[in-house]
């Protein structure tokens, strides 16, 4: 049996090595390292895949969120509603821009921001909502968009973990996550569902004026070289990364299928175990399983984590400390937020290996070790 990895990028590369190597070499041969054809091709291909009007590539997912927020003309002290149960980038950029992150709780089943909690947190200073499609499951975008319309708020989707997911609206139409809100942000960090071989990110929107502004901000506030209209930053997807993504994007749906198959295997193996809650699959979206995350009840989670490590089964705690309890937010009194579901989850969740290359043999082994510990 191959050693089990949390994410096995080496094996995945072996299947696409020839194409990836050729694509990278083409960039080097043509020396079009910055904003080359590979970048243009990738933006167009991703826009096509997502059915988004505009895709603006950038340097990473954190920049994508920052640039998205910069494009909305928010004023210092304006409030941005976000979950606390997320990767720190989501909330960090809010504070970096001198906006106020307002942390709300998540739904205990989906792990995504709770729409009812959003509505309760709205004040006259609220300007935006940042739902996170955590672990590959979409937040309830239908409810969130209804709240955003009612209170005239912008919605920035943090789609770093859910690229390729579909959200199904109650009228029967579906839309890709990241294209439903005002702006969608994603990351191509290597371990993401669509990952490159370094850092990368993208912003998408269907709003022409916002797209122009976002493009400007990502490029030093200029649309004509050396004429800088607004304060921006320098955030580019480099051509070598775009070349890798051009090979991987056509395989994204197949990669998602492989993840969903691994999730099915886990679900079956853990069915009927009273101490384990397998990931909920909300009927309103397609879970793309960036992570396969269990909730444990009556099990010493950290001891399981250590036991699995001894058995050569990696497992991870995403996330051990929620944003509102991070030191970076302590001075603003964020620890006073009362977020029981978030606190509960940070103590109970554990993520098992999840990637495109998991074999039946590996899955069988992982499940047998989990069950051995919890029984
Ligand atoms: C990975 C991730 C980001 C940040 O992406 P980077 O490319 O690492 O900057 C933001 N939000 C979430 C939820 C993520 O998982």
Residue 370: which CATH number? Answer: 3.90.1150.10
Rounded CA separation 290/6 (Å) = 11
Mutate to test the pocket of ligand 1, among 6, 101, 161 (most ligand atoms within 8 A of CB): 161
Specify whether 26 is located in the same domain as 57.
Answer: yes
Specify whether 93 is located in the same domain as 159.
Answer: yes
What's the 75 CA to ligand 1 centre distance in angstroms? 24
Specify whether 245 is located in the same domain as 257.
Answer: no
Specify whether 186 is located in the same domain as 117.
Answer: yes
What's the 258 CA to ligand 1 centre distance in angstroms? 22
Rounded CA separation 128/69 (Å) = 9
* Count: domains in the chain: 2
Burial of 16 (0-12, 13-18, 19+ CB in 10 A): middle
Tell me, yes or no, whether 4 lies in a domain: no
Ligand 1 lining (C-beta closer than 6 Å): 60-62, 86-87, 89-90, 132, 158, 160-161, 187, 189, 199, 201
Query: Tell me, what CATH number does 39's domain have?
Result: 3.40.640.10
Specify whether 256 is located in the same domain as 246.
Answer: no
- 328-360 exposure pattern, b = at least 16 Cβ within 10 A, e = fewer: ebeeeebeebebebbbebbebbbbbbbbbbbee
CB of 133 closer than 8 Å to CB of 158: yes
Domain span holding position 287: 252-374
CB of 290 closer than 8 Å to CB of 136: yes
pTM of the model: 0.98
166, β-bridge pairs: 176
Q: Choose one of 229, 250, 271: the last residue of a domain.
A: 250
Specify whether 303 is located in the same domain as 335.
Answer: yes
Rounded CA separation 306/373 (Å) = 11
Tell me, yes or no, whether 203 lies in a domain: yes
CB of 5 closer than 8 Å to CB of 262: no
Rounded CA separation 316/63 (Å) = 25
CB of 58 closer than 8 Å to CB of 67: yes
Averaged pLDDT in 10-residue chunks for the chain of 375 residues: 96 98 98 96 98 98 98 96 97 97 98 98 98 98 98 98 98 97 98 98 98 98 94 97 98 98 98 97 98 97 98 97 97 96 97 98 98 94
Q: Choose one of 200, 221, 250: the last residue of a domain.
A: 250
Tell me, yes or no, whether 193 lies in a domain: yes
Mutate to test the pocket of ligand 1, among 57, 59, 61, 158 (most ligand atoms within 8 A of CB): 61
What's the 97 CA to ligand 1 centre distance in angstroms? 17
Ligand 1, atom nearest to 200 Cα: 7
Specify whether 202 is located in the same domain as 121.
Answer: yes
Q: Choose one of 250, 284, 317: the last residue of a domain.
A: 250
Tell me, yes or no, whether 1 lies in a domain: no
How many Cβ atoms from other residues are within 10 Å of residue 81's Cβ?
28
Residue 375: predicted pLDDT: 86
């Amino acid at each position: 049996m191959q050693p089990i990895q949390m994410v096995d990028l080496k094996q995945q590369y072996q299947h696409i090595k020839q194409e990836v190597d050729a694509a990278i070499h083409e960039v080097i041969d043509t020396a079009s390292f910055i904003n080359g054809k590979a970048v243009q091709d990738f933006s167009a291909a991703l826009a096509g895949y997502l059915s988004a009007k505009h895709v603006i590539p950038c340097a990473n997912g954190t920049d994508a969120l920052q640039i998205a927020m910069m494009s909305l003309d928010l004023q210092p002290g304006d409030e941005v509603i976000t979950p606390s149960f997320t990767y720190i980038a989501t909330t960090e950029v809010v504070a970096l821009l001198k906006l106020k992150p307002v942390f709300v709780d998540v739904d205990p089943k989906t792990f995504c921001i709770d729409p009812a909690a959003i509505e309760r947190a709205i004040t006259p200073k609220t300007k935006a909502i940042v739902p996170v499609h955590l672990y590959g499951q979409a937040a309830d975008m239908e409810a969130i968009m209804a709240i955003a319309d009612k209170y005239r708020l912008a919605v920035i989707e943090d789609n770093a973990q859910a690229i390729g997911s579909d959200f199904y609206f109650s009228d029967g139409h579906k839309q890709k996550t990241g294209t439903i809100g005002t702006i969608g942000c994603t990351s191509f960090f290597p371990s993401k569902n669509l990952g490159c071989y370094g850092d990368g990110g993208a912003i998408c929107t269907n709003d022409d004026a916002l797209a122009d502004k976002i493009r400007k901000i990502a490029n030093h506030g200029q649309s004509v070289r050396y004429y800088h209209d607004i304060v921006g930053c320098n955030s580019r997807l480099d051509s070598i990364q775009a070349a890798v993504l051009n090979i991987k994007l056509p395989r994204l749906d197949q990669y998602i299928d492989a993840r969903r198959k691994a999730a099915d295997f886990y679900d079956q193996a853990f069915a009927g175990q009273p101490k384990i809650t397998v990931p909920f699959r909300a009927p309103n979206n397609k879970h793309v399983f960036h992570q396969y995350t269990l909730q444990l009840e009556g099990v010493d989670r950290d001891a399981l984590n250590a036991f699995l490590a001894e058995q050569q089964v990696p497992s991870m705690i995403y996330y051990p400390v929620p944003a509102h309890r991070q030191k970076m937010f302590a001075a603003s009194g964020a620890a006073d937020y009362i977020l029981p579901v978030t606190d509960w989850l940070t103590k109970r969740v554990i993520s098992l290996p999840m990637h495109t290359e998991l074999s039946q043999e590996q899955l069988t082994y992982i499940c047998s070790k989990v069950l051995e510990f919890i029984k």
